[in-house]
Structure 1
Amino acid sequence: MTPLRQRMLDDMRMRNLAPGTQDHYVRAVARFAKHFNRSPDELGPEHVREYLLHLIRVGASWSLYNVVRGGILFFYRVTLNRKDWAFGEIACAKNRPHLPVVLSREEVNQFLDAAPDLRHRAILSLIYATGLRVSEVAALAVGDIDSQRMVVRVGHGKGDKDRYVMLSPKILELLRTYWRAYQPKDWLFVGEAPGRHLNTRTVQLACRDAAQAAGLTKVVTPHVLRHTFATHLLEGGTNLRTIQVLLGHRSLQTTARYLYVSMEAVTGTVSPFDRLDAAVTSPAPAAEVNRDARALRWPT
């Protein structure tokens, strides 16, 4: 590891940036330097601008653009202390929000049934049962499962905040079956490296494989399971404030987007047309209906 990379990692740790953010920022600077085949401390604002325009030309998403921009600017402003450079002109892209992908209950059943083994089924079922982020479920300790209080303790979640989520009796039964089979000691889901917890990439690949085995056309990721958890809670009558607490959202506005994907919230809303006076909506004479049907057929 180069001294520059180590210094950047130290700077991010001192500011308590999330491990995922640290990884994204370091990768962004590495790819930026590789693009010009030069050390990043030899590059300047015009190189940053040129590289970001390159990302736009090759079709990178706006969310990736913003992550790369954030990583490069952190490197120059903090690690190299070049605060006098005119980086303010390199604007943050407006990221158009998209509705999250959500699975139906039938699709969730298909998906979990297609998990290749008990370990993967326990991991994926736990995400759907609790709405945990992939980094949170991967780093769970055995002691975080509190069967006395029927809660799961989520330590050091996003923003370094701790919280509790519910532990359902069915998921507890599955976790006990998993524990008897694998006998984890410290981490609930042990990684390949000794003494380390599961890698988030392993969970993401397990999601992909289970979705393909289930024959689902939707792209399923751990975050899709989290979206599905929240949407199904909303459709079951749980209020938004409770869902916000369970998900660990800072803003209620973030949680409110699930109103847009809840089918029960949509189909359960009465149209104002249905409240019109009966005389307005009374059927037309049969002859008139037949004439109109011949003139305009409903699209199939």
Structure 2
Amino acid sequence: MHSNRAPFWLTATAWAVIIFLHFPLIIIALYAFNTEEAAFSFPPSGFTLHWFQVAAARGDILNAVTLSLKVAALATIIALILGTLAAAALWRKAFFGRNVISFVLMLPIALPGIITGLALLTAFNKLGITPGMFTLVVGHATFCVVIVFNNVVARFRRTAWSMVEASMDLGADGWQTFRYIILPGLASAMLAGGMLAFALSFDEIIVTTFTAGHEQTLPLWLLNQLGRPRDVPVTNVVALVVMLATMLPILGAWWLTRDTDTTAGSEK
């Protein structure tokens, strides 16, 4: 009798890989609560929330967090607008250059971050734009658009065109059809894409390095802390916060899109 369960060795290997990948993250989270000021004294000597209080009182950390949140929020809004419009344009109509546009949209996420960062920095220099808040938002939006586009266009492809035709046959205009037929099906995909885009923008480091100028986001702050061993406990706390800030939106996006194959009106 055939079993759908994976062999024991395959399951054990999968769990071993997961533990191997996440073990450093677990160590950082554990030592964020360590009472010792030393970097990694094993075993941890006790449990404390002192370093969280220290981190919350640091103005440089709060400024970096605020900047990262602003950049991520603005980049996500831009990505939601442009990504959704691009998905709508490429959904049904076949036109000359359609595949080229799709390829160009995918380039920022497909290319190594250092290539994207260098390209953006060169473009900004040619245009006479000084790196700062504006360039940060534009740089992050370039790859956030891809995330939103992928989610939305996948949901568009699962939308039965017969439902749109039925709405139009019943007298609905284009806006009513979009509002009552298309948008409800897109809502969770847009939200999931936005959450993923926000998470990626919040912890982006490579493109940020080339486009930040004198601005310092939270990932850049963490990078600068590598040369300051006395601040390791505080750095662990900030790293834990970053992990949670990026993990929760990703889990939320997964939860929102976990039933996409059974969405009403979807096409297999």
Max radius of gyration: which structure? Answer: 1
Per residue, is there more helix in 1 or in 2?
Answer: 2
In the superposition, the TM-score normalised over structure 2's length comes to 0.29
Return the structure number with greater relative CO, CA threshold 8 A, min gap 6.
2
